[in-house]
Amino acid sequence: MSDFSEELKGPVTDDEEVETSVLSGAGMHFPWLQTYVETVAIGGKRRKDFAQTTSACLSFIQEALLKHQWQQAAEYMYSYFQTLEDSDSYKRQAAPEIIWKLGSEILFYHPKSNMESFSTFADRMKNIGVMNYLKISLQHALYLLHHGMLKDAKRNLSEAETWRHGENTSSREILINLIQAYKGLLQYYTWSEKKMELSKLDKDDYAYNAVAQDVFNHSWKTSANISALIKIPGVWDPFVKSYVEMLEFYGDRDGAQEVLTNYAYDEKFPSNPNAHIYLYNFLKRQKAPRSKLISVLKILYQIVPSHKLMLEFHTLLRKSEKEEHRKLGLEVLFGVLDFAGCTKNITAWKYLAKYLKNILMGNHLAWVQEEWNSRKNWWPGFHFSYFWAKSDWKEDTALACEKAFVAGLLLGKGCRYFRYILKQDHQVLGKKIKRMKRSVKKYSIVNPRL
C-alpha cells in the first residue's frame, strides 16, 4: 500500500497498454508536457471538463493523503468514484485500482473508519470487474493480518485461491501463487505455535501424539503452498525462511539446501543479500567445511561489505591456509571500517589491530600499503582526528586504545590520535599502552625498517 503513488503514474502499465505519462531523462517529470501530449492524443480537441476535474480531484486526494487530512481526502473521494463511470474506457478500466488504493489508504487511517467498513469496501471493490479481485483479496488479507485477525485472513485467502473467473494470465498466476504462499505462511505460523506446544509437552504425555500428528499435517500443506511461489524469481524471504525451517525440522536437509542454494545462486532471481545469509547460516548449522562457508560469504561481501557477518568472514579467512584468503581477510576488515555505521565497532578495530601487527610481522607490508593507499586521504580525518581521540577516550577507552594502535601503525608515532592516547595516564592500561608504543616503533608502515 505504501508505494501506490508510483503505481498510479501508469495504472495499467503491467498490461499491454501504452504508458502515457511523460518521463524524460533520469526521473524528470514535466506536468505541462503531460497535458500537451494529452491534447495531441485527442486530436487537438479541448479536454473534457469531466477529465479535467477528475484529474484535479485525484491530485487533491493525493495532497490530502500526503498531509494526513483523511477527512478531506474522503470528501474528494466521494466525487472521485464517478471515474468508475468514465466514458473513456481506458480510464474506466484503470479506475478501480486507483480507487482501491486511495480508498483503502483513507479507510486504513480515517478515525471514523473501522474493520467492518474496510471489509465492505474491499468486498465492493473486488467485484468491480475481474481484474482486481485477487490483488484486492491479498491486500485485504494483509490488512486483516495487520489487525491480528488471522482466521479471517486465512478464510479470505482460501476464497481467493479457489476463485476462477475470466482468462488465466501469467500475472494472475503469480498472484495465485502469492496468495497460496501467504496462506502457507499463516499455516506455518500455526505450525510453529504447535511446535512450541509440542516442545513443552513430555513425550509420554497422552496429548503428545495428537499434537505431533497435527504438526506433521500442517507442514505438509504448507510446503505445498509455499514451494510453488519460491520457484518464481523474486524476493521471498519470509517464505523461504519458514519453508526451510520446516524442512529442517523434518530432517530434509538436502531439500532445504537445494531450496537455499537455488534462492541464492539462481541468476534469474534479483540480487538479495538475505539469500546468502540464509544459506550461510544453514551451512554453518550443518557444519559445512570452511571453504564452502568462505565462498558463500565472498558473494555477500561483494553485495554488502559492511554486513556484520563480515567479521565472521574475516575470522574464517584468517584461519585459512591460502595466502590469498589471508590477504582478503585484511581487505574485508578495512572494508567494514569504511562505513560510518561501523566506526565504533570495537571488535572490528581489535581484529584490525591484531591482524595488522600479524601481517606486518609476517612481512606483507605490500598488502597493507595496497589497502592504505586508497584510504590515506580520508581515514585520518574520518577515524583518527583529534576530536575522535578525545571523544573515543571519554566514551570507551578500550576502543580508543585499539584505534590508537591502528593509527600508530598506519600513520606513525607522530599521529595525533596516537599521541593523545599515549599522553593519557591510565593505570590499568598503562602496560598495554607501553607495549603498543613498542610495537608501533617497530612495525609502523610510515617508518619502515630499512
Q: Which positions lie near another protein, rule CB under 8 A?
A: 46, 48-51, 53-54, 56-57, 60, 70-71, 74-79, 81-82, 84-85, 87, 99, 103, 106-107, 110, 112-113, 117, 120-121, 124, 128
Closest approach of Cβ 74 to another protein, in Å?
4
Q: How far apart are CA 227 and CA 286, in angstroms?
A: 22
User: Going by C-beta distance under 8 Å and a sequence separation of 6 or more, which residues neighbour residue 29?
Assistant: 21, 22, 23
- Closer to another protein by CB, 61 or 415: give it: 61
Closest approach of Cβ 131 to another protein, in Å?
14
Cβ atoms of 233 and 266 closer than 8 Å: yes
- Closer to another protein by CB, 83 or 242: give it: 83
Closest approach of Cβ 30 to another protein, in Å?
18
- Closer to another protein by CB, 100 or 393: give it: 100
Closest approach of Cβ 174 to another protein, in Å?
27
- Unique residue bearing C-alpha cell 586508497: 374
- Closer to another protein by CB, 96 or 408: give it: 96
Closest approach of Cβ 178 to another protein, in Å?
26
Closest approach of Cβ 139 to another protein, in Å?
17
Closest approach of Cβ 61 to another protein, in Å?
9
- Closer to another protein by CB, 11 or 96: give it: 96
Closest approach of Cβ 42 to another protein, in Å?
13
- Closer to another protein by CB, 73 or 360: give it: 73
User: Going by C-beta distance under 8 Å and a sequence separation of 6 or more, which residues neighbour residue 357?
Assistant: 405, 409, 439, 443
- Closer to another protein by CB, 159 or 245: give it: 159
User: Going by C-beta distance under 8 Å and a sequence separation of 6 or more, which residues neighbour residue 121?
Assistant: 103, 104, 107
Q: How far apart are CA 450 and CA 180, in angstroms?
A: 70
Closest approach of Cβ 172 to another protein, in Å?
20
- Closer to another protein by CB, 120 or 168: give it: 120
- Closer to another protein by CB, 60 or 239: give it: 60
